[in-house]
Amino acid sequence: MKNSSPRFILFLILAGGLATLSLQVAAQLPPPQDPDDLLSHDYTGRSYSPYAGRSFATVPLWGDSHLHTSNSFDAGAFGNRLTPEDAYRFARGEEIASSTGIRVKLSRPLDWLVVSDHSDNMGFFPDLLSGAPHLLSDPTGKDWYDRIMSGDGPGVAYEMIGLFANGNFPESLTYWPDLEPFKSTWERIVGAAEDYNDPGRFTAFIGFEWTSLITGNNMHRVVIYRDDASKALQIPPYTTYPPYGSINPRDLWSWLGDYEDRTGGDILALAHNGNLANGIMFPIDAQYDGRALDREYVTQRIRWEPLYEITQIKGDGETHPYLSPEDEFADYETWDIGNLDTVPTVKTDDMLAGEYAREALKRGLELEARLGTNPYKFGFVGSTDSHTGLATAEEDNFFGKHSGAEPDPGRMEHPFLQNDKGTIMGWGMVSSGLAAVWAEENTREALFDAMARKEVYGTTGSRMFVRFFGGWDYTDEDMNSRNPAFAGYDKGVPMGGDLTGPGDGEAPTFMVYALRDPIGGNLDRIQIIKGWLDSDGTHEQVYDVAWSGDRTPGGDGRLPPVGNTVDAATANFTNTIGAPELGTVWTDPDFDPGVTAFYYARVIEIPTPRWSTIEAFRFGIPIPDGAPVSTQERAYTSPIWYTP
C-alpha cells in the first residue's frame, strides 16, 4: 500500500537533501589522519601505546644450568638421595625435604632448570645403593657399599673421584653407554624432564655433564638440548672413558655435530671451573696434549660453546688479582690452590691466564688475529654445580656443594680441598650462582635460542635486573625514557652482540641499566670492563660508570667504598646505603677505531651478610677464622665485541 501523504513526501525530500549535503561535505573533508602521525617528535615511541609491536623479552628468566641429583655417582656417594623429579619440584617452588631431612624451599621459584648428571657411570650409584648383586660380587664394589652403609659415604666419594680423575675407575664397575642400566637411567632422566616441562610456566631442559678430568685438571662441560625425548633418546650421552668416549674437547665437539646430523636436533655445551683446570681451560698456543691450536679448534669451540659458567659454588671465575692487579674487586671468592685431584696439584701463577674468563676474552682477540676466529667469544651465565639436587644460590638459603655439606654446625670447619699451597675450608664454598636469560617466552626453544645468541648474564645468586646495549648514538633521553630497551634494540645490539665501526671513527656508546633484587641489597655501582688488542698486546681497563650517592673518584681515579651496614651479631643489614637502581649512557673515552675490543658490565651490590655469617648466627657458633663477614653480590653481563 503506497503512502502518499504530504508528511511522507516531505520526509523523502528532506532525507534526500541531507544525503546530498552529507556527500558534498564528505568530499570536502581531508582523509582521516594516522593516529601515530599526531605524536610529538620528542616522543620516541612508534605508537601512543609504547608497548604495541614490542618484539623483545621484557623480563629475564632465571635458572640453573648445572645441577646434579643422586644419579651422579659422586653426588650419591656424598649422600644425595634426591631424584630429578625432586629437583624439578624444588626448582619450580615446591617445599621438599633435603637428603639430610631438612625442609627446604626457594624464596622464589626458578623459571627453568637443567639437571646435568654426569654421563660417566650413569646409573651406577643407584644400583650400588640398592645392593645390586653384580656390584657387590666385586671386592671394590662390596667395600664401597659397606662403607656407605656404615656412614663413610664422603670417604667413598673422594676415593671414586680420585680414581675417576686419573682414569683408574675400576673397569669391572664401569657403566658403559651400551649397557642396559646406563640406557634405562638416561631414559628416566629424559622422562623426568618431559614430565616437568611446562611451556610458558616452567622449562625443564634435557642435559648432562661431560666430565673430562685430565689428571685432575677440570675440563668439564654441561651439554644442553633444545630438543625433546624423541631426539635426545636416539643417541646416548657422550662420556669420557674410551672406547665410548674421550677426555678431549675436540672429540666432544665431533659428537655434538654427529648428534645434530643424525637427529636434526640442536645442542650446545658450556665449560665451567676453569679455576680448577691448572691452566688448560683456555689455551693460547696448544691444548693440554701438546697439539697446536688451529683453525679447526677455534671454529669448533665457538661453534659449540657459546657460553661460559663464570661463577658457581667452587669459586668465582671472572678474574684473579694476579691477572688484574688494578681491579679492586678482582679477589672475589677466589679458589686458586690447585685442581680436582685427590691431593690437588699445586697451582702456579703461570697457570692463571688459562683459567679465568676475562683473560680468555683477551686471548680470544689474539687468536682471532692469528687464526681468523675467536674461540672464546662466549656469553656469561652463573649456576650452582650443586650436588644436592637443590638449586640454592642465596646466602640465606645455602645447602652446600654436596649432601655431606648441607647445613650443620660443623660443616664450615671441614676441609674441602687441601694441598701444600693451602686449604679451602667448608666455609669457602660459594653460595653462587644463577643464570638470567633474555628470552621472549619460557620454552625450551626460546631459552635455548637466547643462550645461543648470548643474550644472557650471570649473577652470584642475586636476581638483579640488568640491561646492557652497545651502539653509536644512545642519548641520556634514551636512558631516561623509563623504557630504555626500545632504544637499546632500535639503535644497537644487546649483550652478546657485535658492533662494527660506523666508518667515521666515532666512539661507541653503551647504555647500561640495573635494578636491585626486590629482596636483596641496594646497588653500589656499575662498571664497564674493556679489553682490547693492539700492537703491544692485550690490555684491560675497569671504568666506574654509574654509582650510588654523592661519591667522587679520588686522585687515584678510584671511587670510595659505598660503606657497610652488615651487623655480624644478627647477620643482618640495612638498605640505607646504595641505590635501588642505576643507569647511564657511557662513551668510551679511550676508543681507538682501529683495534678490536670487548666490553661487559659488572654490577655490584652493597655489602650483605655472607652465608657463613648467617650460618654462625643460626647455629649460635663463631664465624670461622678467615671467613668474610659480608659479601658484595654481583652480576656479569655477556660482552659486546667491537671489530673495526
What are 472-530's pLDDT values in tens digits? 999 999 999 888 999 999 999 999 999 987 768 899 999 999 999 999 999 999 999 99
Cα–Cα distance, 298 to 130 (Å, whole number): 45
User: Does residue 16 carry a pLDDT above 60?
Assistant: no
Q: Are 268 and 452 in contact (CB under 8 A)?
A: yes
The torsion angles phi and psi of 411, rounded to 5 degrees, stand at -65, -25
| Mean pLDDT, the chain, whole residue set | 93
Cα 47 to its chain centre, rounded Å, is: 35
Which of 13-17, 29-33, 118-122, 344-348 reaches the highest mean pLDDT? 118-122
Q: How many CA atoms lie within 13 A of 462 on its CB side?
A: 28
Helix (H) or strand (E) holding 62: strand 61-67
What pLDDT is stored for residue 29 in this prediction? 58
What pLDDT is stored for residue 8 in this prediction? 44
Q: Average the pLDDT over 67-86 and give the result.
A: 97
User: Does residue 20 carry a pLDDT above 50?
Assistant: no
What are 307-343's pLDDT values in tens digits? 999 999 999 999 999 999 999 999 999 999 999 887 8
What pLDDT is stored for residue 12 in this prediction? 40
CA-nearest of 492, 471, 493, 463 to 603 is 463
Q: Are 120 and 164 in contact (CB under 8 A)?
A: yes
Q: Is the peptide bond before 537 cis (omega within 30 degrees of 0)?
A: no
With 0-12 / 13-18 / 19 or more C-beta atoms within 10 angstroms meaning exposed / middle / buried, residue 301 is: buried
User: Does residue 33 carry a pLDDT above 80?
Assistant: no
Query: Among the listed ranges 24-33, 126-135, 349-358, 434-443, which one has the minimum average pLDDT value?
Result: 24-33
What pLDDT is stored for residue 13 in this prediction? 39
What are 168-198's pLDDT values in tens digits? 999 999 999 999 999 999 999 999 999 999 9
What are 555-601's pLDDT values in tens digits? 988 999 999 999 999 999 999 999 999 999 999 999 999 999 999 99
CA distances from 561 to 524, 540, 548 (A): 8, 22, 10
Q: Are 111 and 436 in contact (CB under 8 A)?
A: no
Q: Average the pLDDT over 3-25 and give the result.
A: 45
Q: Which residues contact 540 (CB under 8 A, 6 or more apart)?
A: 324, 327, 358, 362, 529, 530, 531, 532
With 0-12 / 13-18 / 19 or more C-beta atoms within 10 angstroms meaning exposed / middle / buried, residue 138 is: middle
User: Does residue 7 carry a pLDDT above 70?
Assistant: no
pLDDT band for 9, please (50, 70, 90 cuts): very low
- Angle value at C-alpha 256, between 254 and 258, nearest 5 degrees: 70
- Angle value at C-alpha 291, between 290 and 295, nearest 5 degrees: 145
What pLDDT is stored for residue 27 in this prediction? 52
What are 369-398's pLDDT values in tens digits? 999 999 999 999 999 999 999 999 999 999
Q: Average the pLDDT over 356-381 and give the result.
A: 98
Cα–Cα distance, 447 to 613 (Å, whole number): 35
What pLDDT is stored for residue 45 in this prediction? 75
Collapsing DSSP to helix, strand or coil, 147 comes out as helix
User: Does residue 258 carry a pLDDT above 80?
Assistant: yes
Helix (H) or strand (E) holding 196: helix 180-196
Cα–Cα distance, 403 to 157 (Å, whole number): 11
What pLDDT is stored for residue 10 in this prediction? 39
Which grid coordinates belong to 271? Answer: 665449560
